[in-house]
Structure 1
Amino acid sequence: MTDSRQPVVISGVTKGLGRALARRFAALGHPVAGCGRSADALSELTSELGDGHRFERVDVTDAEWVDAWAERVHRDLGAPGLVIANAGAITGQAPVWEVPPEDFDTVMRVNVGGVYAMTRAFLPRIADGGALVTISSGWGRNPRGMLAAYTASKFAVEGFTRAVAQEAAQLRPGVRVVAVDPGGGVDTAMLATCLPEEHHTYPTADQWAENAVDYLLHRLPAHSDATGLTID
């Protein structure tokens, strides 16, 4: 980010990594615009973080809804310096022939379609020198059996992000588009879904966010052609 006063935009702020990131950025004085699907959770986050932030109910699988939200964010808070496409979905562990079609479709629509919608809406509105970060996974680089849908979605995110990084130069110089692996397990509801026996052995989302926010603010590579990025 080129200016600490520029807003940070995060999808999927009602729980897990997104909520932890919103809390940490707000604690450091950054205006945060976030979206999610739970009105109650968004209301709680609004009450917790106070004035100067904007949280709205938005479904990232609806590209037009995301675009309308992006326009309101840009109008009310200004051009974002950092956009984090974080919203995600996962299935429990199962061979692919036991995964219902509707579950596979949900994972792909949220994890891939949601990244597309966030990119389409926010990249043209991002500040000079800003960054769009897609949250990937180690399983988006090394396949994980019994989680084929999630693996496929994160491989798609990696490829999509690298392609968009090449396109970003057409907008303006200095805009970065990168996929970032959170850096191993984080104890969230999503991890509990796929690793029910071990999720509690990993750091909490709030613990992870302390280092993750520092990485996103200060240690992202200066160019969009970086690949294989992982938060330490």
Structure 2
Amino acid sequence: MTGTANRPLAGFDVTGKRAVITGASRGLGRILTRAFDAAGAQLTLVARSESRLGDVAEELTGDPLVCAGDVRDAEFNARVAEQTVARFGGVDVWICNAGVSPEVAEVAKTDPDTWREIVDTNLTGTFLGARAAADVLGEGGRIIVTGSVLGVRPKGGLAAYSASKSAMHSLVSVLAQELGPRGITANAVALGWFDTGMGAHWHRDPGRLDDIAAHTALGRWGTPEDLPGVYLFLASAASAYVTGTTITADGGYALV
């Protein structure tokens, strides 16, 4: 037996992996940057705010590349890919994590401009990031998309957000089929309700806090400690035969 078969834990190592993380300046993205930095990855941090990215970079032990811009811009995504290759010599992992918060409104009351903003950021931004990633990833490359349990179990009043996340999960299936022959995997993580990032607003509402917790198999919200493991797994050699799937990290919310 060769490779990591004799050393099963070695397959989970991401030391030296060159990873792009979008939406890295706050919330769940910020948690991911800390985790990948601690695990020894070389990072490109992407978000709209250069100052916020600078704050994140100062927290890290490594020396990340900072790229401020809009993930809805195709040229910006291409520049991120080019600059990462120039800085680190290539790209191994691209995490499409940038997204905007859901608008709570019935379909009939959802403003079209709000719909476009949510869909363009969440879905189109992911499409453009994945397209840029596909240009520079080699064999063993990873595309990881931050989806949502609301894309698996849509909820009334969250039409734009749920639709964008459902479509992102479908996009991952297509990417896996198209990029598989090149040895590149594509997967999504359907996140549940976390007490940080976009979920923080609901976490502060006592009514929603208890209601959501009651609708999970584990009876609680997710914490920052619950988040990085599945991403680190999908970025590592341990997930080499996992592609085109959506892994739920929701405490069993979709089950109850």
TM-score of the aligned structures, taking structure 1 as reference length: 0.88
Partner residue, 1:114: 125
Unpaired runs of at least 5, structure 1: none
Aligned-partner Cα distance in 2 for 1:220–1:181: 17
Q: Distance in 2 between matches of 1:99 and 1:51?
A: 43
More strand by share: 2
Q: Does residue 220 of the first structure (1) align with residue 239 of the second (2)? A: yes
**2: distance between equivalents of 1:209 and 1:157?**
19
Once the two structures are TM-superposed, the CA of residue 80 in structure 1 deviates from its matched residue by 2.0
Deviation at 1:21, TM superposition (A): 0.3
Gaps of 5+ in 2: 1-11, 211-219, 252-256
Match in the other structure for 2:223: 204
Distance in structure 1 (CA, Å) of the matches to 2:202 and 2:120: 18
Say whether the 8 Å CA contact 2:190–2:248 is kept in structure 1.
yes
Query: Which structure would you say has the larger Rg?
Result: 2
Offset from partner CA, 1:38-85 (integer Å, 9 cap, x none) = 122111112221542112202101111111121111111122222110
Matches of 1:18 and 1:109 in 2, distance apart?
A: 19
Counterpart CA distance in 2 for 1:28 and 1:58 is 26
Query: What are the residue-to-residue correspondences of 1:1-232 with 2, within 5 Å?
Result: 4-170=15-181, 172=182, 174-182=183-191, 184-193=192-201, 196-197=204-205, 198=208, 202-205=221-224, 207-218=225-236, 220=239, 222-225=241-244, 227-231=245-249
Question: Between the two proteins, what is the percent identity of the paired residues?
Answer: 29
Q: For 1:37 and 1:131, how far apart are their aligned partners in 2? A: 23
SS of structure 2 residue aligned to 1:127: strand
1:194 deviates by 5.5
Q: Do the aligned partners of 1:10 and 1:83 also contact (CA within 8 Å) in 2?
A: yes
Instruction: Give the aligned length.
Output: 227
Worse-matched range after superposition: 74-83 or 189-198: 189-198
The alpha-carbon distance between structure 1 residues 51 and 224, as it changes in their structure 2 partners (threshold 3 A), is closer
Shift of residue 212, structure 1, vs aligned partner: 3.4
Show CA shifts across 1:62-113 (max 9, x none): 1111111211111111222221100011233221222221111110011001
Q: CA deviation at 1:124?
A: 2.1
Look up the SS of the partner of 2:67 in the other structure.
strand
Q: Deviations over 1:117-171 (max 9, x none)?
A: 111111221132121011111111222111000011011101111112111035x
Q: AA paired with 1:67? A: A
The Cα shift of 1:9 comes to 1.1
- Per the alignment, residue 8 of structure 2 pairs with none
**Aligned-pair CA distance for 1:221:** 5.8
Q: What is the DSSP-based 3-state SS (H/G/I as helix, E as strand, rest coil) of the residue aligned with 1:132? A: strand
